[in-house]
Amino acid sequence: MAQGDKSAYTDKQKRQAEHIEESYEKRGVPEEEAEARAWATVNKQDGGGKKSGSGRKKPASQDKKD
């Protein structure tokens, strides 16, 4: 399975993926599968790589004031 470029991720996201990957490997998941699952988990939690720049909207939940 081909892995994509990880340069768009923050250092924190890279560290998180490394720790998640190690956890999967300790549970007996093959190395390539553990890496893929780890990055999928980081993407699920954070929505992908760096999220700054013009044109980026806040999620709808942050726009509303109670």
- How many domains in the chain? 1
Confidence of residue 62 (pLDDT cuts 50, 70, 90): low
pTM confidence score: 0.66
Is 42 inside any structural domain? yes
Is 25 inside any structural domain? yes
Neighbours of 39 (CB within 10 A): 21
Is 63 inside any structural domain? no
The predicted-structure confidence for 9-60, as pLDDT tens digits, reads as follows: 889 999 999 999 999 999 999 999 999 999 999 988 877 777 665 555 666 6
Distance in angstroms (rounded) separating the CA atoms of residues 21 and 32: 9
Is 19 inside any structural domain? yes
Structural domain of 21: 9-46
Distance in angstroms (rounded) separating the CA atoms of residues 43 and 49: 8
**Residue 46's pLDDT is what?**
79
Is 60 inside any structural domain? no
